[in-house]
Amino acid sequence: MITYLEAIRSALAKLLADDPRVFLYGQDIGSFGGAFKATKNLAREFPGRVLDSPLSEDAIIGVAIGAAIEGMRPIVEMQFADFSVCGFNQIVNHAATLYYRTEVPCPIVVRLPSGGTPGSGPFHSQSMEAIYAHYPGLVVMTPGTVEDVYSMLVEAVAIDDPVLFCEHKFLYNHLKAERLPDLVAPAFKARLARQGRDATIVTYGAMLHESLAAAQELVADGYEIEVVDLRTVKPLDTDTVLASVARTGRILCVSEAWPWGGVAAEVVARVTAEGFDLLDAPPQRLNARDTPVPYHPDLWAAHRPTASAIASAMQRLLEM
């Protein structure tokens, strides 16, 4: 069995082995192997290519951008997604605009250990996919499976554009798979994670598993719920979502991010604009609460969508 975290490490090792343009840069990622051990042993296996940085997010991203301009394929680790705001300017104004402005692409990958875990609190739990997706010029990946976190990270490095790679901390060690994938879906295609008939849940990341559990719960009530895993939120594969809604006529978007302008809002806005006639009921959103992510595990569990919260939201949607 390989965990989601081990899959990330395997992808990094493969990338370092296959592509001399790849190097890793970030806080404590060298001999220490990173705060979550995603780069464990890589500094030893690839001498000089896994570098500890100072405590300087703005400089870390800036360095990656310069290296990318010169033809490298830097992969940088933010110790937590929450700290990427300290490198925000370099990401949204420098990396994101470079290709549009100069025709020179900016192939950097910024790894963002994202999402909530019990006791992590307001500053070690954030989901920033909506923030980065709002900016032109960025690709935002949100893998929710072991297979995807591996293959999408490999693909992220192949892409010429800056990729914000939102890997979910809650899945790091919980989520396991038999083995790494050989054949994989392209990163920009959403995936039908569960087939159904009565309604569609559109989600990604850790919420994929809460949603699948909710769908399972609802089987008892005789409902067949389809679950679409977006995998990448920008670009967003609207076609796959619409195809599912065409089958079910009902859609609930579930995201761990904050509600205002989040992934769920974008999905609903697209589905209603482009698939209005497919809808048998008003499309619904379920997000985290609109407050900072609380510290206490009980508050945290009530702050984010859970399988049971998703199931009851779906119940309401099915009765509409």
Partner 1 sequence: MSSVGARLSPKRGQYLRAYRFMLLARVAEEKLASLYRAGLIKGGVFLGRGQEALSVSVGLNLRKGDIFAPLIRDQAGRMAFGDSVLDTFRTYLGSQLGSMRGRDGNIHRGRPREGYYAMISHLGAMIPAVAGGLMARRFRGETGVVGATCLGDGGTSTGAFHEGLNVAAVEKLPLVVVVANNQYAYSTPNDRQFACKDLLDKAAGYGIAGHRADGTDLADCLRIVGAAIEAARSGGGPQFVVGDLLRLVGHGEHDDAGYVDPGLKSAHVGRDCLKVSEEFLIEKNWASAEQIAGWRTEAKREVDTTAARVQREASPDPAEEDWRAVSIPSGDLARV
Ligand X SMILES: Cc1ncc(C[n+]2csc(CCOP(=O)(O)OP(=O)(O)O)c2C)c(N)n1
**Nearer CB in complex with its own copies: 97/306:** 97
d(CA 190, CA 228): 7
**320 interacts with partner 1 by CB under 8 A:** no
Q: How far is the CB of 297 from ligand X (least distance, A)?
A: 21
Which option in its own copies, partner 1, ligand X, none does residue 46 bind, with CB closer than 5 to 8 A by kind?
none
Return the range that interacts with partner 1 (CB under 8 A); candidates 2-10, 29-37, 198-206, 306-314.
29-37
Q: Does 238 bind partner 1 (CB under 8 A)?
A: yes
Is 239 within 8 Å of 274 (Cβ atoms)? no
Asked about 174 being catalytic, the answer comes back as no
Least separation in angstroms between CB 288 and ligand X: 22
User: In terms of CB distance, is 216 or 261 closer to partner 1?
Assistant: 261
Q: Is residue 261 a contact residue for partner 1 (CB under 8 A)?
A: no
Check binding of 282 to partner 1 (CB under 8 A): no
Nearest by Cα to 162 from 107, 209, 83:
107
Least Å from the CB of residue 65 to its own copies: 15
CA torsion, ordered 302, 304, 308, 312, to nearest 10 deg: 100
Q: What is the closest distance, in whole angstroms, from the C-beta atom of residue 198 to partner 1 in the complex?
A: 26
Choice between 19 and 52, CB closer to ligand X:
52
Q: Which one, 229 or 266, has the nearer CB to its own copies?
A: 266
The site map against partner 1 for 131-150 (x = CB under 8 A) is -----xxxx-----------
Instruction: Pick the closer one to its own copies by CB: 38 or 140.
Output: 140
User: How many angstroms separate the Cα of 300 from the Cα of each of 76, 261, 264?
Assistant: 28, 21, 20
The token pair at 239 is 């076609």
* Of 69, 92, 72, nearest in space to 25 by CA: 72
Among 9, 124, 169, 191, binds partner 1 (CB under 8 A): 124
Interface residue with partner 1, options 5, 11, 74, 311 (CB under 8 A): 74
Compute the least distance from the CB of residue 153 to ligand X, in Å. 22
56 binds partner 1 (CB under 8 A): yes
Catalytic residue numbers, as ranges: 124
